[in-house]
Structure 1
């Protein structure tokens, strides 16, 4: 089951007796837990209605004993269990004894007064485990994967709308370029921009420029764009700004290497017919980052990217062995690359 389906069910008032939430998008997983909490208990009763466990610290027997105990002074209770043992592919802890067969029995006859949620911070569940197969039979496994590029844009627009504001499409694009794809950061920055826009106001590109700082990693995205466009002056302005922010040249070079390497991978995978979503899974990138990387990669040839990676490898060695001063070495590389262009 995808995250959008479970959120739709919650909006319709449908709550299942148990879930196994997994995936790498922690913001969506936490949002799911918060919405469940809101539906299960009133704020003044949540101390009694919400119980938390960790399978690395508590045996499954103890968790299920709590699940099978009637709630006190509330109609239902929510049990949130952080799990890296039962459903994930990691090695089970030798200190804690778990009896998964008891959980299998519980899922066949769950308590009506309990909502049991296992939260697994892994990209995938371990399909070899019987418990995972059982959960999937009940359609209770929920995948909280990173949003696709268009979904992320829509999510930002909806977040502004819920606060009585609208956000220009160009402002959304600039916000993503500056803040990246971390939904925790994006939520905070969007709320700040909405507050600045005022009631029924509009979040503009100008407001994003004024209020949202550019993360170092996002500046590297911009650096590669300017390099491809032969805009030497903008390349050097970005580089000097990063130095003023006390960013280390070796760190910046490592980020450049990663971006050029990702461009090369995207070109190769695209040539093999991979979709952006499949590329994201292969490269461990957010789908929006794949979209930006693919746009940039079109401006470079495969040979050019290979040569740039080779030059950066030589520069890295020269910097670390003291043959080249770090700041000057990277500055000369950027000047040469911006002059030579992408082809």
Structure 2
């Protein structure tokens, strides 16, 4: 928050959005600038409107502290102000406070019940309506800080900037792979970036191979278990592993397209293995180009899985099925889980014949 660092504060702000990474950065900027570490017990207050009233919160903000020259209030649970009635008295009290605010207090409302995507035009209608209500009420007195989800470009910019600040050379293709693999989830990216810089050690250099080894391995291990069950035509085990993947994902069913992308990538790797007749892990690194390789732990497993298929024709059939499922997912079906379950059933069935259609080109692009 530039206004905090430049000491051009308004008496109140609303932090709108559920992006935890950006919220933590805003919070850290406020605390580092306004709340000395040895004074936090006296000048920092955390309140939740689900447990306390807005009247109590404003009364505490209005009352100067005898122990600290400045106070900061983080007020969560803002959603309760906009439910169950008009809350005329509550908004009247807010207006009264901000007409004559305490210059020794900063009030920060946290509206984390609203989700702002990286492209605001794609915001859900309910979230748009909630945001507009905040803008029309608190926005008259408080600054609005949008904590929107970041896109891949912003994630890449952050990785580059943090690496330069830490004196680490982070290869461009490694940064792209990190952002892409974690879906521009900044909390995950920041955590994995820390691990990678520690892994780099004295060489102070992170490569694409480092990302494939350290980051993708954990994400892909259960995926390779799924493809193992599929290639073995073990439908019950494949369905159980699919449900485990979906339940373990932060996005739940919303992560379906990401899982489908990784599944398509793995079957494309199998296709190359079959077409180039790869029989051991030493040859696989010549067959698969950089950026299209699996983690080292999966090399032998993937060769074994690929060789379960009678020919590359069976693998291209699987890619067509994945492409059709991808098109269905992108058309917003009522149940994404059902689409993936049907895909697993189709992939584990013995093929009756091979059909050729235009979906193969799309499958190879996945």
TM-score (norm 2): 0.61
TM alignment of 1:245-324, pairs within 5 A:
259-261=326-328, 263-264=330-331, 313=339, 316=341
In structure 1, list runs of 5 or more residues that go unmatched. Answer: 1-6, 245-254, 266-305
Q: Deviations over 1:284-343 (max 9, x none)?
A: xxxxxxxxxxxxxxxxxxxxxx9xx99x85x84697xxxx5x8724x969x989996135
TM value normalised by structure 1: 0.64
**What residue number does 1:10 align with?**
4
**Deviation at residue 153 of structure 1 after TM alignment:** 0.9
Paired position in structure 1 for 2:360: 341
Assess if the C-alpha contact under 8 Å between 1:60 and 1:98 holds in 2: no
| 8 A Cα contact 1:165 1:194, kept in partner | yes
Deviations 1:249-306 (A, max 9, x none): xxxxxx99885445457xxxxxxxxxxxxxxxxxxxxxxxxxxxxxxxxxxxxxxxx9
Shift of 1:160: 2.0
Query: Aligned in 2, Cα 1:45/1:336: closer, same or farther, shift over 3 Å?
Result: farther
Alignment of 1:1-343 (within 5 A): 7-85=1-79, 91-92=83-84, 99-121=90-112, 122-123=114-115, 124=127, 126=130, 129=133, 132-138=135-141, 140-198=143-201, 201-214=204-217, 215=219, 218-225=258-265, 231=271, 233=273, 259-261=326-328, 263-264=330-331, 313=339, 316=341, 328-329=348-349, 341-342=360-361
1:193-215 residue CA offsets vs partner (Å, 9 max, x unmatched): 11222357122112112211353
Change in 2 beyond 3 A, CA 1:220/1:136 = same
Return the offset for 1:75.
1.6
Structure 2 gaps, min length 5: 116-126, 224-254, 274-287, 306-321
Q: How many residues align?
A: 269
User: Mean Cα displacement is larger for which, 39-48 or 220-229?
Assistant: 220-229
Provide closer, same or farther for how the CA distance between residues 56 and 164 of structure 1 changes in structure 2, counting only shifts above 3 A.
same
Root mean square deviation, CA, Å = 4.2
Structure whose CA Rg is larger: 2
Distance 1:258 1:194 in 2: 37
Partners of 1:57 and 1:257 lie apart in 2 by 49
